[in-house]
Each structure stands twice: as C-alpha cells, then as structure tokens.
Amino acid sequence: MYKKFLVFLFLCQAMCMRLLAQGDTSGANKPVEMADKFRADGKIYVVVAVVVVILLGIFVYVARLDRKITTLEKELK
C-alpha cells in the first residue's frame, strides 16, 4: 500500500514538472493589467489588507477551535 502511494506521488510530481517547464509560450512574461491598475490606483493595499484580515480570522478561529477541542479531550479523560 505504501509503495503504491509513493509511486502515485512520483507520477503526480512527474506530470507537474512538465507544467512548470513551460517557457514564454505560456504568457508568463506578459504584464498583468489588473494588478498594474490596482497598484497605480493604490488599491492593491486594500486587496492585501482584506486578504490579511481573512487569513487572520481563519487562524484565530482555528486556534480557538483547537483550545475548545483540547478542553473537551481533557474532560473525557
């Protein structure tokens, strides 16, 4: 079972390597107009702030949930 899982992981990695090896034909060097517009208007900071607030909220939620689960586990023992 363990060997099959490792072979599966290796095959998945091998398939992804081809995707990472794409050159200029993928359009990777094209400028992103939306990001440039946000940066020029100063709105990129709003986007970053919203993402940070969402991530902090998720981290706080997970930490509180972990504390609650830990107390419940201690009560059961």
pLDDT number for residue 28: 57
Question: Is the pTM value of this prediction over 0.75?
Answer: no
User: What digits encode the pLDDT tens for the residues 22-50?
Assistant: 555 555 566 667 777 777 888 888 888 99
Q: What is the mean pLDDT of the chain?
A: 81
What pLDDT does residue 1 have? 67
CA distances from 35 to 24, 29, 47 (A): 20, 14, 10
Number of H helices, E strands in the chain: 3, 0
pLDDT score for 65: 96
Q: How confident is the model at residue 56 (pLDDT cuts 50, 70, 90)?
A: very high
What is the residue extent of each domain of the chain? Answer: 38-77
